[in-house]
Structure 1
């Protein structure tokens, strides 16, 4: 008989997406309309493509209806017309013809069969207004379209974090380690890995905070920044007295209630734009007494090779401190690695 393991609530998913649902916000639609640019840029692609197409179709139809009523008011649709009658829009006798004239005008196809007469100032004014208004609308929609394509968010998706974090010794100090890699050949410069520990806390006044944030400093060698990210790197956090994870042991790791949010901020060398990638680790994803397997090798051509088949693999630490860990804890970690 198998028992269901309790599901660990997460604020940030493994792929960096926000898991917090926003409810009962008064005037949400008004807030979104106030920042219409961000709203349009953040739209999903299916909605953005629909908006892109409907912007053209609706403006063609809207101004086509206006031209149709202008022609109707000018008497262009009468069965019997005076010999000296001048139509506002030549050869646009139906709503379909007015729609086609609007389409030809807005897309600058050029005039041939349908055209405006110079003796109809209202139609001329409407044409000018159409080109100005629709030009601004097309600039907005096309700009939002391109802005979504160029967002650094897509570049951040090519940054890979290790599936689990490990706890082992580094230079005699007990550390939490995570591995980060750049999956593209283009460099990421001025990289900085920061962490936040999200956990419940009770203040001295007795107020219970469901999610309290504490800073977790990660280092690589002697600093928190690396000049560029070209090789898979391991960042570590020292579990000393200043750490919010102080007191963490192999015995209480799985009973602790926290989420370790890890964020990598970097600048793209090609565009100088800043990108950010995130992931999080819950206690079940932190392996005590393990270390990452080497992922960087050299071949016969005097080149370094990063073998990503070893990126998420770990091995038991040879440190004597971890050899005395209880058997059940190691068994649980082995089960997690097999999942």
Structure 2
């Protein structure tokens, strides 16, 4: 056993070359001879799936963190209210009206308290500011009736109360402003044609194939509704990490994919399903990629379709993202 210095390998790969003999062999033969069992068991590390830049529901998977100038959201309050989720929009809608009614109800109750209407309400010959207003609850109800113009007629402001007349004018004006803002926000939010994008369909896979003797990246898009999308246009972006010649690393570099904007083919007459094609030529970002490189590259193709709804005239936009799953095929998702 001491004289036998053979290297024991897998039982199917036993070799009779000693270490001294191995050193004399050429490099490529040494690498072929000394293949240990461990080297055969090592496999390429499994890459984690790339996180989508655009989620399957069409929303961008980007979170804005460390935003210090949050006051800028309040400078564009209308857009901020429109962009909120429905649960928060309805909550704010309710709170604004309730707080407004409570505030003016408190002012009506305060006037009645200062004038002494709450104490002398039952005395004959006493003219209150608001008839039949004898508590905060009745003042709150009068505030609601005034601002919503219900007009039950039980509580009525009298002409001998100038401060009440001024408060009535202020509440009428501010109430109209609140109605304009809140109803306007709800109308814009309801009229947004987000659901219209649900009937704009993209093919599940984008493929690379030969078309007219040219290598092309192709996918299909179609509209399920009978009402057409007017002025429909389509564009595509390639999103991947890139390192510049100066060494700068750009994690989400966006590159335009030509799908006809130089020839006008990006303007669609979307009556029947159409095949959108991108020619892979010298100007294409895929020109220098081989099929093997495409399998290793981590990139995402985002397709954006825009247009106007024929029935309403509102603009609509839908976007899809394609991630590579297999050789020459990309799985699409988005909304």
- TM class, shorter-length: 0.7 to 0.9
Structure 2 SS opposite 1:186: coil
Tell me the distance in 1 between the aligned counterparts of 2:195 and 2:180. 23
Residues 91-121 of structure 1 show CA distances to partners (whole Å, capped at 9, x for unaligned) of 1101111111111111111142111110001
Q: CA deviation at 1:274?
A: 2.5
Q: Does 1:209 align with 2:250?
A: yes
Tell me the distance in 2 between the aligned counterparts of 1:81 and 1:156. 64
TM-score, normalized by length of structure 1?
A: 0.79
Structure 2 SS opposite 1:47: helix
Decide which structure has the larger Cα Rg and report it: 2
- Specify the alignment match of 1:193 in structure 2: 234
Tell me the distance in 2 between the aligned counterparts of 1:80 and 1:111. 20
Tell me the distance in 2 between the aligned counterparts of 1:227 and 1:161. 14
After TM superposition, the structure 1 = structure 2 runs for residues 43-122 of structure 1, keeping only pairs within 5 Å, are 43-78=84-119, 83-122=124-163
After TM superposition, the structure 1 = structure 2 runs for residues 278-289 of structure 1, keeping only pairs within 5 Å, are 278-284=319-325, 288=328
Tell me the distance in 1 between the aligned counterparts of 2:59 and 2:268. 27
Residues 195-235 of structure 1 show CA distances to partners (whole Å, capped at 9, x for unaligned) of 11111111111211112111101149x74234521212110
What is the Cα-based RMSD across aligned positions, in Å? 2.3
- Specify the alignment match of 2:225 in structure 1: 184
- Specify the alignment match of 2:20 in structure 1: none
Tell me if structure 1 keeps the 8 A contact 2:233–2:307.
yes
After TM superposition, the structure 1 = structure 2 runs for residues 215-294 of structure 1, keeping only pairs within 5 Å, are 215-219=256-260, 223-284=264-325, 288=328
Cα 1:54–1:67 change in 2 (3 A) is same
State the number of aligned residues: 287
Tell me the distance in 2 between the aligned counterparts of 1:26 and 1:268. 38
Tell me if structure 2 keeps the 8 A contact 1:55–1:138.
no
Residues 23-76 of structure 1 show CA distances to partners (whole Å, capped at 9, x for unaligned) of 001121x11100001001111111111222222222111111110010000101
* Long gaps (5+) in structure 2: 1-44
Q: CA deviation at 1:250?
A: 3.1
Tell me if structure 2 keeps the 8 A contact 1:186–1:269.
yes
TM-score, normalized by length of structure 2?
A: 0.80
- Specify the alignment match of 1:153 in structure 2: 194
Tell me the distance in 1 between the aligned counterparts of 2:147 and 2:288. 69
* Long gaps (5+) in structure 1: 291-332
Q: Aligned to 1:138, which of 179, 193, 208?
A: 179
Cα 1:4–1:142 change in 2 (3 A) is farther
Structure 2 SS opposite 1:62: helix
- Specify the alignment match of 1:128 in structure 2: 169
Q: CA deviation at 1:194?
A: 0.7
Tell me the distance in 2 between the aligned counterparts of 1:152 and 1:92. 47
- Specify the alignment match of 1:20 in structure 2: 62
Tell me the distance in 2 between the aligned counterparts of 1:250 and 1:205. 28
Cα 1:208–1:5 change in 2 (3 A) is closer
Tell me the distance in 2 between the aligned counterparts of 1:5 and 1:15. 25
